[in-house]
Amino acid sequence: MYEGAVQDLIDELGRLPGVGPKSAQRIAFHLLAAESADVSRLVAALQRVQAEVRFCVTCFNVAEAEQCRICRDPRRTEDVICVVEEPKDVVAIERTREFRGRYHVLGGAISPIEGIGPDDLKVKELMTRLMNGQVTELIIATDPNLEGEATAAYLARLVAPMGLAVSRLASGLPVGGDLEYADEVTLGRAFEGRRRIDA
Ligand SMILES: [Zn+2]
């Protein structure tokens, strides 16, 4: 459609999740017309992410060190782990200020349709963390959709022999959606009203 560099930019933007061809074109032309300092900041942010950000060796949240900020925080309790699908869910739950334990980021949810099974997620790593015996409660905060529910049911069954208290966030969350779309108050309430799962 366009020449060299512009088309390359449109193609790259179009590969991003949620960016269709029209949006890619709009963003590309926005960047072409933007101040050079603004574009430089964007480039620098991308380069920093690529160079500096990695995944926490313990919980698989994004981190700028071997462990993430939450795993390094000695004021947070070690006996409760909240399981989420993605790092963005950690951010959403942190905003509610309801939770003072640790997280475990699975890296997705079980989805037979997309060919994603437990082995593709950080399930083994979760089990290893639970083995050390310090954790007494597991809160499963996977998304309130089909894949999230299937993942929650799977995990509840898997950890049942360990005798932990296992709970799932209360209803009231928008069904079929992502955790991140829930507002802080709704998510906070769902957290407080979490219900025990007896697998
Ligand atoms: Zn961590």
- pLDDT at 173 (0 to 100): 64
pLDDT-derived band at 193, boundaries 50, 70, 90:
confident
CATH class name, domain 62-168: alpha beta
Hey, what are 13's tokens? 């933007």
- Kindly report, as residue ranges, where domains of CATH 3.40.1360.10 are found in the chain: 62-168
* Residue scoring higher pLDDT (12 or 144): 12
Q: Tell me what percent of the residues of the chain surpass a pLDDT of 90.
A: 71
pTM metric for this prediction: 0.78
- Centroid of ligand 1 to alpha carbon of 65 (angstroms): 10
Per the prediction, the chain carries an average pLDDT of: 91
> What confidence tens digit (pLDDT) does each residue in 79-136 have?
999 999 999 999 999 998 889 999 999 999 999 888 999 999 999 999 999 998 899 9
- C-alpha of residue 61 to centroid of ligand 1, in Å: 5
**Residue 76 pLDDT grade (very low, low, confident, very high; cuts 50, 70, 90):** very high
User: At residue 195, does pLDDT exceed 70?
Assistant: yes
What per-residue confidence (pLDDT) applies to 177? Answer: 65
The pLDDT assigned to 139 comes to 95
CA of 158 to the centre of ligand 1 (A): 22
Supply the DSSP string of 112-167, one letter for each residue. TTTTB-GGGTTHHHHHHHHHTS---EEEE---SSHHHHHHHHHHHHHHGGGT-EEE
Centre of ligand 1 to C-alpha 59, Å, is 4
CA neighbours closer than 13 Å in the CB half-sphere of residue 151: 28
**pLDDT given at position 172:** 63
Distance 90 CA to ligand 1 centre (A): 10
Q: Taking residues 15-26, report their average pLDDT.
A: 93
Rounded to the nearest angstrom, the distance between the alpha carbon of 60 and the centre of ligand 1 is: 6
Tell how far the Cα of 45 is from the centroid of ligand 1, in angstroms: 22
pLDDT for the residue numbered 182: 73
Which amino acid does the sequence have at 100? R
Type of residue found at 106? L
Interval 171-187 mean pLDDT = 70
- Please give the distance, rounded to the nearest whole angstrom, from the Cα atom of residue 152 to the centre of ligand 1: 20
CATH of domain 5-52: 1.10.8.420
